[in-house]
Amino acid sequence: MPASLSPLRIAIAAVVLALPAAYAVAVYAKPGGYRIDESSDPTFVPLPRRSASSADLREYRWQVQLATRADGNALPLLQADALDQIYLQFGPDRMSFSGGANEISMYYQVDGSRIASFVPTRSGLRKQGGGFVSTAVGTWSERPLAMDQLLSAHLAPPFEHWLEGSGTAQRLHLIGADGTHFILQTTDAAYGAKGERVNLEIAAGLKRCSTGCGPLNAPRPDCVSARKLRWANGGPQPASEWFTLPRHAFDGRRMQDNQHQVLETRHYPSLSGKQCSVGIYVVDYVSRYEDIARTQSDGLTTATTATAAP
């Protein structure tokens, strides 16, 4: 004969069974996809929409958080995950998507609530038309190519667009001519401040150091030698002396141990506000130092020599 359930277990089971029902009340289907039932949350305050100028769009780098078809169903390969993100960058004339194997871009202009494509002419005029074009970088990895293919199939200008919120927490909405809806947030949103772009050279190997803001721990091999870089004459040039960084200061993509490499990062100040903290370096791209060619002023490409770290 099975043992009878205790009152505590019965109560827990009742809560577990009730949760799906409560969620079903809060979330329901609409023709445009699934939406939150605002009446189920009296504290819900919708953010007002506001128009975006070209300067607003260029101020931040954006990343896709949600991409849905016109029927509201998600486009799985285009959703954000721990590593792979679809990014959008607005320049003075071009808007560029990246994150797969290639960069997909077009000439754009903001026309009221629309982002339209154009074709530049030799006379400097803008002719209506054009669209997205893609680079042709090959890769053995199947997922980045599939991301490119799906993204290209659902980029249909002109886009209706608007912003919600302000600062690093704002969101950008893009709805293409085919009804595809992209919801993007700034790449700074998770850190609450605008990051500083910093390129770092990382020496191979680890150094012994004491890390943390508490009482000093015994030194251990948990730090890297780093220095800032700037780009000049087609290649990386030192922009600081060598300094030590603990590995826990890095977020984002993982570095390769015991490898001379270059990191493209965003540096954020300490989230805890402690003066002893070096902040957070969010790694967007990792490259082997040896793979970065240095282009001289005469157009020739030669290998660059590495300066030893202390």
> Which pair of structure tokens corresponds to residue 204?
């191979």
Q: How confident is the model at residue 305 (pLDDT cuts 50, 70, 90)?
A: very low
pLDDT value of position 309: 53
Mean pLDDT, all residues of the chain? 80
pLDDT value of position 178: 97
Say which residue the tokens 């359930």 belong to: 5
Does the pLDDT of residue 214 top 90, yes or no?
no
* Residue 62 bridge partners (DSSP): 88, 186
| Higher local confidence (pLDDT), 269 or 146 | 146
| Region of residue 26 (left: phi > 0; alpha: psi -120 to 50; beta: else) | alpha
Does the pLDDT of residue 40 top 50, yes or no?
yes
User: Using CA atoms, how far apart are residues 113 and 95, in angstroms rounded to an integer?
Assistant: 16
Q: Is the bond leading into 46 cis (omega within 30 degrees of zero)?
A: no
| Higher local confidence (pLDDT), 191 or 124 | 191
| Higher local confidence (pLDDT), 178 or 287 | 178
CB proximity list for 119: less than 8 A, separation 6 or greater: 107, 126, 127, 128, 129, 130
Q: How confident is the model at residue 236 (pLDDT cuts 50, 70, 90)?
A: confident
CB proximity list for 133: less than 8 A, separation 6 or greater: 104, 105, 106
User: Using CA atoms, how far apart are residues 93 and 105, in angstroms rounded to an integer?
Assistant: 10
For the segment 251-270, the average pLDDT, to the nearest whole number, is 88
3-state secondary structure of 190: helix
CB proximity list for 209: less than 8 A, separation 6 or greater: 219, 220, 222, 223, 244, 246
pLDDT value of position 25: 34
> Which pair of structure tokens corresponds to residue 161?
């667009």
User: Using CA atoms, how far apart are residues 289 and 238, in angstroms rounded to an integer?
Assistant: 13
pLDDT value of position 231: 87
Does the pLDDT of residue 286 top 60, yes or no?
yes
HSE toward the beta carbon, residue 92, CA cutoff 13 A: 1
Rounded to 5°, the CA angle 299-300-304 comes to 120
Does the pLDDT of residue 3 top 80, yes or no?
no
Does the pLDDT of residue 148 top 90, yes or no?
yes
| Higher local confidence (pLDDT), 59 or 37 | 59
Q: Nearest Cα to 102, choosing from 155, 157, 58?
A: 155
Give the least confident one: 28-32, 104-108, 147-151.
28-32
| Higher local confidence (pLDDT), 130 or 271 | 130
Does the pLDDT of residue 252 top 90, yes or no?
no
CB proximity list for 7: less than 8 A, separation 6 or greater: none
Task: Tell me what percent of the residues of the chain surpass a pLDDT of 70.
Answer: 75
pLDDT value of position 106: 97
Model confidence pLDDT, tens digit, residues 83-104 = 678 999 999 999 999 999 999 9
Q: Do the beta carbons of residue 193 and residue 268 sit within 8 Å?
A: yes
Q: Do the beta carbons of residue 63 and residue 184 sit within 8 Å?
A: yes
Q: Do the beta carbons of residue 73 and residue 33 sit within 8 Å?
A: yes
